[in-house]
Amino acid sequence: MHYIFKGTGNASAKTLLLLHGTGGNEHDLVPLAKNFGDDINILSLRGNVNENGMPRFFKRLGMGIFDEKDLEFRTHEMVHFLKEIAEKEGFDSTKIIALGYSNGANIAGATLMLHPDFLAGAILYRPMQPFRKMENVKSKSHTPLFFSSGKNDPTVKVESTNEYLEILNNNNLDVTFHEINTGHNLTQEDVELSVNWFKNNF
């Protein structure tokens, strides 16, 4: 996978994993990362899937309809890649906090389900439930999770968000939820709320 890594030189530092939205790339979220402090590593990935020239982290069958077999494969692939990159770049793979927007938030959510307790935490902006049938995979470490949705988001239904939140809570994830008065776009309010959450948890 194409990636950008900006290390602190501290082997015990936490790593913020940046996962872009559809059509983005590994450069998109790097400017946002500076809000989280200068004592963390930054690792930004580019999705391996190409949809009509737009990078994504997994295939979809239509708008809001995921190719779940590909999502499962790509999630395992990403976690394997992260473990390899941790050795290569010299960071602690047990201290990765994912930050994903839209498509990136969805593969981060899939990681929380398929590899519970791999991530030390996650920030999900505008996520959707990754799998129609979600397994009961209780988090042993009660992984802290920031989740923000757009009140007027045409992509994600409120009912679906509520169902997803219930599943996450039932799987022992420590969820902090915010509904932002906006659509699917990312706002400064999302960033400020997630930075405060990050400082409180890490």
CA–CA gap between residue 144 and residue 115 (Å, rounded): 15
* 184 Cβ contact partners less than 8 Å away, ≥ 6 residues apart: 102, 126, 150, 153, 154, 155, 156
- What's the one-letter identity of residue 100? G
CA–CA gap between residue 180 and residue 199 (Å, rounded): 20
Handedness of CA 106, 76, 166, 164 (dihedral sign): positive
The encoded tokens of residue 161 equal 């968000």
Q: Which residues are catalytic?
A: 102, 153, 184
CA–CA gap between residue 76 and residue 79 (Å, rounded): 5
| CA within 13 Å, CB half, 160 | 18
Q: What are phi and psi of 121, to 5 degrees?
A: 180, 170
CA–CA gap between residue 25 and residue 21 (Å, rounded): 8
